[in-house]
Amino acid sequence: MIAQIKSIGLIGLSGFSVTVETDITPEDRIIFDIIGLPDNAVKEAKNRVISAIQNSGFKMKTVKIVANLAPADIKKEGSAFDLPIVLSVLCATNQLPPVSPSYAFLGELSLSGNLRPVKGILACVAAAKDLGIEKIFVPSENATEGGVIEGIEVFGARSIKEICDFLKGEKELFPIKAKISDYIEKKDQSQADFSEIVGQQSAKRACEIAAAGGHNLLLIGPPGTGKSMIAKRMPSILPDMSFDEIIESSKIYSIAGKLSKKNPLILTRPFVKTTQSLSVAAMTGGGAVPTPGMISLAHNGVLFLDETPQFSPAVLNSLRQPLEDNTVTVSRVRQSLTYPSLFMLICAMNPCPCGKFGNPDLNCTCTPSQISKYINRISGPLLDRLDLQVELPPVPIQDIKNAAPAESSYEIKKRVNKAREIQRERFKKSGITCNAKMTPRQVRFLAKHRMTDSAVTMLDSIFSKLMLSMRAYDKIIKISQTIADLEGKDSIESAYVAEAVFFRSLDKKYWNK
């Protein structure tokens, strides 16, 4: 007898339908084969299935079992196929009635027959809905995560016996109801706030511009000037995540196994801090089965590189393509996967190897060649992609003692939201969400139609004097437009160009030492 059970597989963030076809023939001993391009985790399912059947009160007869995971030309990976395989065996041996093709099943088995959580449930449930599945059964620990997808019933179960009793009509299971709006209302609002930062007005202004236009940011300053402190507070002034952004980011974290029953969604913009020992695979994603790396985990949020010159050149160069394309492609022998990577990059660094350069109270012992070698570890192409470059001077102790209450993230965020709304209206027909993602053609349009004559003259003069690259020229126009949006102005004035150039001047100051 042949039995069929539906399941869901994943390729990156995209799901596909998997049909587990099981055929049973008489044999004098138990023979179990799984075919259809299974990986090692799927192949090992046969041992878990046999033990789970025997320990759940069902009979395991001496038969030959052939389980085919169709389509047979796509690699099947992970332990989530345990549950559909065991159910197909029970159906094929007449211990379970036929199962509706509108039901799908996912879950790892323990030897006792209990269900263990698996990665990627959110992405699988979303794919199942698109594929026309009406009901999907998952481990109880994954049910809340999957239950946020509307238009499909998600059932959580603790064991295969619970599911079998439900399918036989002997027990009731109830679908999990979870609304994203309810989680948004309950989300933790206790973020680090810009009001906690003393001084550093230029850096705060740069952060506001960066948040308003989606620009990348470089912070340069001696140790203790607040570079990390400022970077950690960037998510607090970024616009709230949209419904689509919440789902997309949550899918990535689901596949990476970073969601839980308590926190089934990513509701605030991610802040991902990396370490200097990071490999290229960890940054971009990798493994035998490519999984999301730091770049994708920062999608819709912030990727922070502290002490940037200490990172290997290979890791820094791996950022260039994702910054341009907003996607990262992970290629392996078996397959090539593409993950989204739309993030704001914030880099922080000391002005020199010892960190004392520019501090009037400390003596820098670095030679000009040492400083140049240290700074030049950030290549020109990556530097060009860091739109805003800001210097953080040491804050005098007297300023710290006498500091007045600073502006809160809430107040800054209100201005950022207004600027982003202007940009959404401007780019509503192009699919672009912020100024930083403008195409060269759109930048040329701004230069021709939105810049005042005095602004054009100023920018032409600065471009010739500083010998900037064309990418830097475009960045200045984009930043100038963001400043105009913050001011609520339609045209780009010379004052906005001057401020934009101020935040690009550090590359000339340091990189030509």
Three state DSSP letters for 203-251:
HHHHHHHHHHHCCCEEEECCCCCCHHHHHHCHHHHCCCCCHHHHHHHHH
pLDDT tens-digit readout, 202-247: 889 999 999 999 999 999 988 888 889 999 999 999 998 888 899 9
Whether 162 and 205 share a structural domain: no
Whether 171 and 221 share a structural domain: no
pLDDT tens-digit readout, 71-110: 998 888 889 999 999 999 999 999 999 999 999 999 999 9
pLDDT tens-digit readout, 14-50: 899 999 999 999 888 899 999 998 888 888 899 999 9
Give the residue-averaged pLDDT of 130-155.
93
Give the residue-averaged pLDDT of 3-12.
92
d(CA 422, CA 440): 20
pLDDT attached to residue 512: 45
- CATH code of the domain covering residue 250: 3.40.50.300
pTM: 0.86
Whether 388 and 419 share a structural domain: yes
d(CA 140, CA 367): 62
d(CA 225, CA 202): 13
CA atoms within 13 A on the CB side of 156: 18
Residue 482 — pLDDT band, cuts 50, 70, 90?
Answer: very high
pLDDT attached to residue 509: 53
- Look at residue 28 and give its three-state secondary structure: coil
Tokens of 103: 């039901």
Whether 174 and 198 share a structural domain: no
Residue 506 in domain = no
pLDDT attached to residue 189: 63
pLDDT tens-digit readout, 372-416: 888 888 766 788 788 898 988 877 666 666 667 788 899 999 999
Q: Give Cβ neighbours of residue 339 (< 8 Å, ≥ 6 apart).
A: 12, 13, 252, 285, 292, 293, 295, 296, 299, 327, 328, 330
Question: Which one-letter DSSP state was computed for residue 355?
Answer: S
Residue 511 — pLDDT band, cuts 50, 70, 90?
Answer: very low
**Among the listed ranges 113-127, 180-194, 246-260, 462-476, which one has the minimum average pLDDT value?**
180-194
Residue 233 in domain = yes
Question: Which one-letter DSSP state was computed for residue 196?
Answer: G
Residue 287 — pLDDT band, cuts 50, 70, 90?
Answer: low
Residue 168 in domain = yes
Whether 80 and 205 share a structural domain: no
Residue 158 — pLDDT band, cuts 50, 70, 90?
Answer: very high
Q: Could you tell me which residue, 9 or 185, shows the higher pLDDT?
A: 9
Residue 501 in domain = no
Residue 184 in domain = no
pLDDT attached to residue 2: 86
Q: Are 213 and 344 in contact (CB under 8 A)?
A: no
pLDDT attached to residue 276: 87
In this predicted structure, the answer to whether residue 278 has a pLDDT above a threshold of 70 is yes
Residue 428 — pLDDT band, cuts 50, 70, 90?
Answer: confident
- Look at residue 136 and give its three-state secondary structure: strand
Whether 252 and 172 share a structural domain: no
Q: Are 79 and 45 in contact (CB under 8 A)?
A: yes
Whether 219 and 267 share a structural domain: yes
Whether 173 and 268 share a structural domain: no
Q: Give Cβ neighbours of residue 308 (< 8 Å, ≥ 6 apart).
A: 218, 316, 347, 348, 349, 377, 378
Residue type, 303: L
- CATH code of the domain covering residue 66: 3.30.230.10
pLDDT tens-digit readout, 258-274: 887 777 888 889 999 99
What is the pLDDT of the chain when averaged over all its residues? 87
Whether 240 and 324 share a structural domain: yes
User: By percentage, how much of the chain surpasses pLDDT 70?
Assistant: 93
Residue 393 in domain = yes
pLDDT attached to residue 368: 84
Residue 502 in domain = no
Residue 510 — pLDDT band, cuts 50, 70, 90?
Answer: very low
**Among the listed ranges 148-152, 247-251, 283-287, 467-471, which one has the minimum average pLDDT value?**
467-471
In this predicted structure, the answer to whether residue 288 has a pLDDT above a threshold of 70 is no
Number of helical H runs and strand E runs in the chain? 23, 18
Q: How many CB atoms lie within 10 A of CB 50?
A: 17
